Amino acid sequence: MKYRYSAWIVALLLLISGCNSDSKTAIEPPVERGQGDNTSTDKDGADTDNSDKDNSNSDDSNSENTNSNNSTKETKEEVIKRILSAQGAENITSLALKDFEIAEFGCVTAANLSVIQGYFNTTQDELQLTTLRDRLCKVVELFELDNKSLLTPSMLKDVGLRGLFFQDGTLDQWAYDELILTIPERNFEYAALQEAVEDFHHNQSSVWPKQINISFDDGGALNSIYEHLDLFDKYNATFTYYVSHYSTIDHEKVADIEDRGHEIGHHGVIHRHAKIYSEENGVQKWITDDITPQLDAMRRDGLTVTSYAYPFGAYTKETDREIKKYFTHVRKFASWSSVVYRGERSDRPITTGLSIDSHRFDLDKIRNAIDTLKGGETLYLATHVIGKTGNEWYITPENLEKVLAYASAKGLKFCHTSECMNFKGNANN
């Protein structure tokens, strides 16, 4: 229902603004979410764990659970497909033992089924059949260890635990020691281990940097960003510019922005609505039409592009799954009127940019978010053009400077998305 509502708003907005999806460098207004989302966001604001923020729009997670009771009618291939697609899903408790038996996952038994389900819920990996079988056996091996002195770093690497190893693959000895200290003596559940590692990072507030990532969207924002580069230099600040309509804008200016120390990201060939387009044409068609042509062109031009922002902030679980194959970081967008400004854990590959466009700009709320940011967290703020435009999707240079000045005065580290995620590498800076 939510999606249908969003789709109507998009259609309406496009109609009102008189622009079609092919219009060259038009600034296309992001979708605002329905009232129901506002409510849940407000509720989220009350707690300190924002891990659920990027799930707020995925109400389609139940669709693949509906098969669970008639799996006898499915072929083995269909069951395998369902198991593979359950990786990283929010709720897969309906994957039954029978499913794993049909798919011949030998290691999965009644005794460890809940551990395996915990793995599916928690993992961010997307493994193919053979690798997944192997991985699940390793997860079971961990669970069956009867003494934590037997738990080695390589076993933890084998199950794909995030946050325990640096980017070059070396062990984070401190995180490992903390993990060994905090876990029980036996029966190591993947999900609990992952949670322990994340808690460790989250609690190192005096050590990990407090970070901020400011981003600007749309090909049409190029000139305004280009004209204000000195403003960022003044505060030693960097940003991410998510480019759409790359073929129609000035490539030299884009390259200049990267050369000046900022990050260039991807925002769609012609700013297609990922949810509507992928549901009408398939996820692969969305990738080949709105992702790969521009990504290839940008990389051919020597740009380093590792991050993507969804146009209109629109996505589905399937687009999330697919887009992660092309980028290490994905940014969503929140622009409801009651948006709660706050940081996210820095190791999250999918984050939400909080709108600081003119009609949402609230300096007190932004300052409060900066004041309450913890180490190991990143505040993602997103907007479009710098300077007044004919619509509300802009920030004035004065307001932008207020944000830069405050973040800078409070010692926040401005990060590119890859740096934001690799926050432990920033700790010594």
Stretch that binds Zn ion, among 14-22, 310-318, 326-334, 362-370 (CB under 5 A): 310-318
CB of 311 to Zn ion, least distance (A): 5
Residues 333-392 interacting with Zn ion (rule: CB under 5 A): none
Q: Which is nearer to Zn ion, 189 or 217 (CB)?
A: 217
CB of 227 to Zn ion, least distance (A): 19
Residues 204-263 interacting with Zn ion (rule: CB under 5 A): 217-218
Q: Which is nearer to Zn ion, 54 or 377 (CB)?
A: 54
Task: Reduce the DSSP state of residue 22 to 3 states and report it.
Answer: coil
CB of 333 to Zn ion, least distance (A): 8
CB of 122 to Zn ion, least distance (A): 31
Supply φ then ψ for residue 130, to 5 degrees.
Answer: -60, -45
Residue of 311, 313, 375, 376 that binds Zn ion (CB under 5 A): 311
Please provide the size of the chain in residues. 429
Q: CA 314 to CA 290: how far, in whole Å?
A: 13
Q: Which is nearer to Zn ion, 210 or 245 (CB)?
A: 245
CB 370 within 8 A of CB 407: yes
Residue carrying structure tokens 């395996």: 116
CB of 267 to Zn ion, least distance (A): 6
CB of 315 to Zn ion, least distance (A): 13
Q: List, in sequence order, every residue forming a beta bridge with 332; answer none if it has no partner.
A: 352
Q: Which is nearer to Zn ion, 272 or 345 (CB)?
A: 272
Q: Which is nearer to Zn ion, 25 or 51 (CB)?
A: 25
Binding mask 267-286 for Zn ion (x = CB under 5 A): --------------------
DSSP 243-260: E-SGGGS-HHHHHHHHHT
CB 119 within 8 A of CB 314: no
Supply φ then ψ for residue 302, to 5 degrees.
Answer: 90, 10
- How many of the chain's residues bind Zn ion (CB under 5 A)? 3
Choose among 319, 244, 330, 242: nearest CA to 277.
319
Q: List, in sequence order, every residue forming a beta bridge with 382; answer none if it has no partner.
A: 215, 355
Q: Which is nearer to Zn ion, 89 or 314 (CB)?
A: 314
CB 240 within 8 A of CB 420: no
CB of 332 to Zn ion, least distance (A): 12
Q: Which is nearer to Zn ion, 209 or 311 (CB)?
A: 311
Residue 419 within binding range of Zn ion, rule CB under 5 A: no
Output the residue with the shortest Cβ distance to Zn ion: 217
CB of 312 to Zn ion, least distance (A): 7
Q: CA 271 to CA 11: how far, in whole Å?
A: 14
Q: Which is nearer to Zn ion, 64 or 217 (CB)?
A: 217
Sign of CA dihedral 69, 74, 80, 84: negative
Spatial neighbors of 89 by CB under 8 A, at least 6 apart, are: 61, 64, 120, 121, 317
Q: Could you list the residues that contact Zn ion (CB under 5 A)?
A: 217-218, 311
